[in-house]
Amino acid sequence: MKDKITAHWNKRSPSYRKMYRDHLDEEILLMKNLFSEKLPAGKKLSVLDIGTGPGIQAFVFAELGHNVTALDISKEMLAGAKEGARNRNLLIRFVEGDGENLPFEACTFDIIVNMHLLWTLTDHDKFFSECKRVLVPGGRILAIDGQWFQQEYVSDGNNNPEERTHEELIEYLPLYKSNSPEMIAGLMENNGFSDVSWKALPEYAEYMKRCDPEGHDYLSVPYLATGVKY
Ligand SMILES: C[S@@+](CC[C@H](N)C(=O)[O-])C[C@H]1O[C@@H](n2cnc3c(N)ncnc32)[C@H](O)[C@@H]1O
């Protein structure tokens, strides 16, 4: 099943988030502003971006001056992210691996970030317990996602049939149609995270809609869910 998931994302890599590529600097700035209140000031942090895809969150934290490791299950996604890092002159460690079975020692990272990853996972208890294991005590998880597929997926008039191919994965993805922020907060709490909270990101929704007005049904507003390991 993981082979199928990996093959899927390898195939998606060339077209993934194509509509946003001309607006990357804007997205990075938006994310920097969003995270500033959640990060301890004046400290160089060890950050892990899981499911980095094209590398956006890795770029955010590297540009903020932190030590960043970016992990993805897809070689092709990592190749694109590496190229992006080179173009932006950023030093990032890229690792091929599974977010549900992290190839890192316990207590390695101050921050774990992930964006649009949760809906793609097969075992959320494993994922959150792995995140807790590799975070240092006091470390924080920052998870951005949305309820993208609660309504039927509205694509781009079939100009890009690749966009629909994740239908082949749905049977493996328990949160595909139900990744509400309340559910994610509950999963964090059940897996031992404290100070769990979430907030809606209307400004990010506006950005996404502006970049890709026909790509998704944006009745759902993305959210940031966060928790701390003590
Ligand atoms: C929807 S994309 C999100 C990419 C990026 N974070 C973003 O915000 O655009 C999901 C990413 O997670 C990766 N992925 C899926 N399952 C994974 C897993 N179990 N472990 C690590 N990466 C995974 C995929 O290869 C893909 O790059």
Q: What is the pLDDT of residues 195-220, one digit of tens each?
A: 999 999 999 999 998 988 776 655 67
Show the domain range for 201.
2-228
Q: What is the pLDDT of residues 143-198, one digit of tens each?
A: 999 988 765 544 444 444 444 567 788 889 999 888 899 999 999 999 999 999 99
Q: Which of 2, 60, 73 to mutate to test the pocket of ligand 1 (most atoms within 8 A of CB)?
A: 73
The length of the chain in residues reads: 230
Structure tokens at 93: 């460690």
Strand (E) positions, the chain?
46-50, 67-72, 93-96, 109-115, 135-145, 194-200, 223-228
Least confident among 56-70, 116-130, 162-176? 162-176
Strand, coil or helix: what is 197? Answer: strand
Please provide the average confidence, as pLDDT, over all residues in the chain. Answer: 91
CA 230–ligand 1 middle distance (angstroms): 27
Place of tokens 């239908």: 167
Q: Which of 9, 11, 20, 101 to mutate to test the pocket of ligand 1 (most atoms within 8 A of CB)?
A: 9
Pocket, ligand 1, Cβ cutoff 6 A:
5, 9, 17, 50-54, 56, 71-74, 77, 98-100, 115-117, 120-121
Q: Give the CATH number for residue 196.
A: 3.40.50.150
Q: What is the pLDDT of residues 131-144, one digit of tens each?
A: 999 999 999 999 99
CA 168–ligand 1 middle distance (angstroms): 16
CA 213–ligand 1 middle distance (angstroms): 22
pLDDT greater than 60 at residue 7: yes
CA 101–ligand 1 middle distance (angstroms): 14
User: What are the helix (H) ranges across 70-201?
Assistant: 75-87, 124-134, 181-190
pLDDT greater than 70 at residue 224: yes
Separation between Cα atoms, residue 59 and residue 89, nearest integer Å: 10
Structure tokens at 200: 């809606």
CA 103–ligand 1 middle distance (angstroms): 16
Count of structural domains, the chain? 1
pLDDT greater than 80 at residue 83: yes
Structure tokens at 116: 């649009």
Nearest residue by C-alpha to atom 13 in ligand 1: 51
Ligand 1 atom closest to Cα of residue 52: 6
- Percentage of the chain beyond pLDDT 90 is 75
* Residue 46: predicted pLDDT: 98
CA 43–ligand 1 middle distance (angstroms): 27
Nearest residue by C-alpha to atom 9 in ligand 1: 53
Q: Quick one: which of 117, 128, 179, 144 has its CA closest to 27?
A: 144
The 10 Å CB-count burial string (b at 16+, else e) for 25-44 is: eebbebbeebbeeebeeeee
Separation between Cα atoms, residue 158 and residue 46, nearest integer Å: 41
